Structures are given as C-alpha cells and as structure tokens.
Chain A
Amino acid sequence: MPTSPTEAEPEYDLAVIGAGPAGLAGAVTAEELGLSVCLLDSSPQPGGQFYRHPAPALRAARPEALHHDWPAFAALRDRLAAGTVRVRAAHHVWTVERLAGPDGEGRWRLHALAGADGGRPVRIRARALLLATGAAERQLPFPGWTLPGVVSAGGAQAMLKSGLVLPGRRVVVAGSGPLLLAVAATLVEAGAHVPLLVEASGYLDYARHPGVLAAAPGKLLEGAAHAAALLAHRVRPLTRHAITRVHGTSEGSGAEVRVNAVTVSALDRDWRPLPGSERRVACDAVAVGHGLVPHLDLATGLGCAVRTTPDGASALVLDAGQQTSVPGVWSAGETGGVGGARLARIEGELAALAIVSRLRGRPRATAARARRLARARRRLRAFAEAMAAVHAPGPGWSHWLEDTTEVCRCEEVTAGCVRAAVDGLGARDTRSVKLLTRAGMGWCQGRVCGGAVARLTGSPPGPDRRPLATPVTLAALAATPPDRPAPDPTAEPASDARTGPTAPTTDQPSADTGPTRSDTHRGDLP
C-alpha cells in the first residue's frame, strides 16, 4: 500500500532491502505498526542466507530437516503473509539515490533490476530506508583451493538447502568461524560423511571472554546443539589447523575432475603452518570459509560511516535505534557486524520501532519492548565482537600460500604475482596491486579475493566499494529513465573502466551472463 502510488514509481513509508532474518523482522514490525512497507530481495524466495530453503518446485514437506531454528522463520513468514508488506522478490537493488522530497524531507529512490533475466528496471521511492543486506563469506586462498570439489562452506550449505545436493560423500569442512559448525552439522544431517572439521583458531579462546559467554547463554546452547550433532556423527573438530594442500585430478573435464585428499597442518598462534606437522586426510570434497564479512556495497555508496571489527572487517556504525550515520538510513543484521540470525531479528525489530517513531511519533506501548530488545542486542553484540576476535585471521596465514597458488580466481592471478607487485614494484594498496596484476578485475569484481589481496598488500581490507551493487548491463542502463544520471564510476576510487558499468568488454559478463529464463522466477543478477 504505497502512500501516494504512481504507476511508474510507487512510494512507501519504508523500503527494506534484504529479506533475511533482519529485513523480515524489520518489515513485518513496521507494517504491523502502521507503515506502508516494500521489502526487496534479489533472491526469488524470502529467507536470506540462514533460512534458505528448497525451490517450491521441489515440494519439500519438511524443509526444517536441514535447519536449526526453523520456527522463528515460520513465524516471520506467517506474519508477512498476514500483513500488507509489498514483497518484491527477484529484485536486485543496484543503487539508491537521495531526492529532495516535496515537504523538504528527504526521499530515497531505489533502482532495482527485476525478473528472471534481471533486465527489467524498477524504481521505488521511500521516506525511510532499512539496509539488511547481510554478509558474504571471507575466503583466504590456499594451495589447491581452485580445484573443483573445493567449495565455499556457505555455498555447500546453500546448494544443499536450495537444491538438495552435496558436492561429495566425504566432505572436509575447513577454515574458521562458527558457520563451519553449522555447515558440518547440516552436511552430516543430509547424509554426508564429514571426516574432519578443521578450525584455524582455538575454541578455547572463547574462554578469554567469560563475561560475554555468561551473558549470552543462548549462543552457547546453539554451539552445543551443533556440537552434539557433530559428536553423534563422530565428526572430529581439529583446532589450530588448516588445509595446506588439496590433492586431486585436475585433468580432463566433467566427472574425472575430483578431490581425493587434503593435507592438514598444525598452526601456531599466528596461523603460521608448523613444518613437519602435515597429515593427509582422504575426502572427495572440501567446504571452506574463514568467517563472514558485512555486505556493504549499498551502504558505502550512500556514504554510511564504518568501523573496523576485531577481525579486521568493516561494519556500519549504528546508533541505539540502528540508524546509520546518514539520517533516514537504518540498518540491521550482519551489516552492523556479523552476529547471527537471532541478533539480526532483534535488530530488525529495533530498527522498525525507531523508524516508526521517527515517521509517526513513538507508538504507544513499545517503550518496554524496545528496552527488552536493546538489552538482548547488547548481549549478543558483545558475543559477536568476542567471536570476531577469536576467529580473526592470524597474520601468519599467508605462509601457507605457494607462489603458484591462485589468489584471484577470476583473473588467475597467483600469490607470486601479488608478492612481486608488493615486494618488487612497491605496491602498497589493493588498487595498485589490482592495476599491476589484474587481481580483483574479473567477473566477481574482487568480491571473493578482495579481502585476501588487501591482507597480502599489508593494507587492512577496506569496506566494499563498488560503483554498483551488481554488474548492470548496458541494456538495463539504457532502459533507465533519462532524469536519472548514470551512476558516477569516479565515485569509486579503486574502480577502473572494466569494473564500471559502461564498459563491459568481451571477457566481462555482458548482457548474456545472467539467468535468462523467462518461464521461471529463479535468478537474481543480470
């Protein structure tokens, strides 16, 4: 129910970007308190990362079998269905601009690409904006990580939850962070054998934050539930270790290409591998990830201030009501620092209360609710910071790289090349390394390698800065109405013509890259 609908550009009180736990909670809370709300997500189904579930055509009667905490999602989904939130699935928001409203009050205009082929431009206006864009996985390269069968931990999880498939039968789960426990538990519940869970940090390090643990007992229970599932399936967690080599066949194609083992090494406190500690473990797939980092393209594009988290990532600076440094823009969930689904729900609800009170005055009988939520948030945020500190990548990780290890998967740039740019040519930041080596210039625009390249150059990984939150095709830009200036690629200091929207070259994904099936609702990027 837009407040002043026009055919071309409906206006809502609130636009929520991201339909994960944070965005869902924010949208239903705001709508129940009387706001008109539009909820956009690039995925064809609401749920975000945590509540990813099988495509409807798979007709799963018990999707919860592969989920922990499904009832919380079911409750949000039911509230969504009962209300008037306008849900726009398969809408990827690629930029947001600020307009001067008729009443002198600012307005946000969202530009999205909609539909199966991501080619239909859509514009929406809103008085308030809630960014709930979640997180992306952090990847640290290691020898052999580009061999097919080595997949991201979240990716293995996502393929399983949405497509009901496994990458192999014996899957080693490796990297760092609590997501690995969840992924290993889901894999064994789905019938895979997980011979080993390799964690680079030590879980005992949590003991250095006893106050935080005592204050967030729910988090301990969550961990204990995963641990119990893992114990029941005899999964051994091996802490202070990392995969330092992947063995397999990379010849041929199709079914001949496989992983057959990994070498695992012990690490010192700085994550430097200890020579002589290697052991070989047979497996046919690897699921790997080194924690999560907030997904901030849209937020940094709007100029929202960021802080550095204890694990060296960038997260949004937020006030007590979840507002960013930009008035009128709120944020909830992983964007404020990675803290899990429960914290995301709490923050979404808190943000909605703050937005309602800004637009309508404080609703009656919500003060106690806000206080209760704020208390829970404080506890869980403290836990999140402790978690980030425990799993912060140690500076010695780069010692497991060989010169031939590919760092940038898209452009096939090796660690040796990056080192030569840093040591030999004096590159001191990601931008120089990128210009010298092409690392981060490929299809994924540095989404996968950016953090690792920054760490190798010795500069702390900065927040996401891409001119656009998604590769936008020329056709879509051409279809953008003329009163909208094309986004300014120079706003992105580390940008280059190839990553800009206007210069797709032959080896860039151009208009023909995305899912282009018009008879389905799947697919989210152009």
Chain B
Amino acid sequence: MRRRRRTPVERVLARPGPPFEITFDGRPLTALPGQSIAAVLWNAGVLAWRTTRVAGRPRGAFCGIGQCFDCLATVNGRPNQRACLLPAAPGDAVTTQKGDGRADLAD
C-alpha cells in the first residue's frame, strides 16, 4: 500500500503563524507567513501570472532567486514586482501582468 507523501511543510515541522488570504485575479488563495508571493501562487497550483510583451506568452517563476525577472507580477496595482522575492502580506491583490504592466494601469 502506498503511503501518502508528506508535504514540505510537514517535512520541516513548520508551525507558522495563522494562514492568511491573498487574491490572484480575484480568486482567494491561502498564504503562510514568510512565503513569497510566488510560493503562495505555486502552492495553489498557479504557475503563470504574466504575459510577455512581444508574443503575449504566459510566464511565472523561473530562477526563484531574483535573477531572471520572469516572475514579474502586478501586486496591489503596482506592476513589475518580482514575485519570488516579495513576501506575501494579508490582503495582497495579485493580478496577471500583461506586457510591461503599464496598459493595466491605463484602464
């Protein structure tokens, strides 16, 4: 019989403070204190939160350490935030960033 695999949180015996909520394109997601925005999105199975400027292709986190700038997101209306570095805070509204994110501001 196959045992259920333990989650990373269980593996390191993490006992973070109470979870809180952020939203991604309006949908509520659960975050743990200390997680980056990208970690919260991954945890919810969301891997893409930006479309590219030229071809409009979806992108999400790639390097995970702030080097590649692929993970840019619009957070609380502010475009070009590196989701892999930015810690999630209660109530954050993350929206899919289109291109350089400026058009989102115009409308």
Please tell me if A136 contacts chain B, counting CB pairs below 8 Å. yes
Cβ B66 vs Cβ A60 within 8 A: no
Q: Are A58 and B35 interface neighbours, CB within 8 A? A: yes
Best-buried of A58, A146, A517 by chain B (most CB within 10 Å): A58
CA distance A331 to B35 in the complex (A): 33
Q: Which 4 A-B pairs have the closest CB atoms?
A: A163-B39, A155-B64, A57-B34, A55-B34
- Confirm or deny: B33 has a beta carbon within 8 angstroms of a beta carbon on chain A: yes
Residues of A within 8 A of B (CB): 49, 54-63, 65-66, 136-137, 146-152, 154-160, 162-168, 189-193, 250, 252-255, 257-258, 285, 409-412, 442-444, 447-448, 506-507, 509, 512-517, 519-520, 522-525
- CB pair A253–B58 under 8 Å, yes or no, is yes
Contact partner of A158 (CB less than 8 A), chosen from B15, B54, B58, B64, is B64
Q: Is the CB of A191 within 8 A of B82?
A: no
Contacts of A444 in B (CB 8 A): 67-69
- Looking at chain A's contact residues, is the secondary structure mostly helix, strand, loop, or mixed? loop
Q: Is B100 an interface residue (CB 8 A)?
A: yes
Q: Is the CB of B38 within 8 A of A163?
A: yes
A–B complex contacts, Cβ < 8 Å, 25 sampled: A58-B9, A58-B16, A59-B15, A60-B14, A149-B60, A151-B63, A155-B84, A159-B38, A163-B43, A166-B8, A191-B8, A253-B51, A255-B47, A285-B47, A412-B53, A412-B55, A444-B69, A447-B67, A506-B102, A513-B69, A514-B85, A515-B85, A515-B87, A517-B87, A519-B89
On B, residues with C-beta under 8 Å from A are 5-17, 24-25, 27, 32-36, 38-39, 42-49, 51-55, 57-70, 72, 78-82, 84-87, 89, 96, 100, 102
Q: What's the minimum C-beta distance from A524 to chain B, rounded to whole angstroms?
A: 6
B67 A509 Cβ-Cβ under 8 A: no
Complex-state Cα separation, A387 to B68, whole angstroms: 26
Q: Give the chain B neighbours of A190 by CB distance below 8 A.
A: 7-8, 11
Please measure, in the bound complex, the distance between the C-alpha atom of A58 and the C-alpha atom of B46, giving whole angstroms: 21
| Smallest Cβ-Cβ distance to A118: which chain B residue | B85
Smallest CB gap from B60: residue in A: A148
List B contacts of A516 (CB < 8 A).
78, 81
A316–B30 CA distance with the chains assembled, in angstroms: 45
Residues of A within 8 A of B45 (CB): 255
User: In the bound complex, do residue B64 and residue A151 qualify as a contact, i.e. CB atoms below 8 Å apart?
Assistant: yes
How far, in angstroms, from A193 to B79 measured CA to CA in the complex?
A: 35
Q: A146-B59, A149-B47, A250-B57 are in contact. Are A520 and B87 (CB under 8 A)?
A: yes
**B28 CB, nearest partner CB in chain A, Å:** 13
Taking CB atoms, residues of chain A closer than 8 Å to B61 are 151, 155, 159
Q: How far is the CB of B35 from chain A (nearest CB, A)?
A: 5
Evaluate contact between A522 and B85: CB separation under 8 angstroms. yes
Name the contact of A156 in the complex, choosing from B14, B43, B64 (C-beta under 8 A). B64
Q: How far is the CB of A129 from chain B (nearest CB, A)?
A: 23
Complex CA gap A191/B27 in Å reads 26
Known: A166-B42, A509-B80. A62 touches B11 (CB 8 A): yes
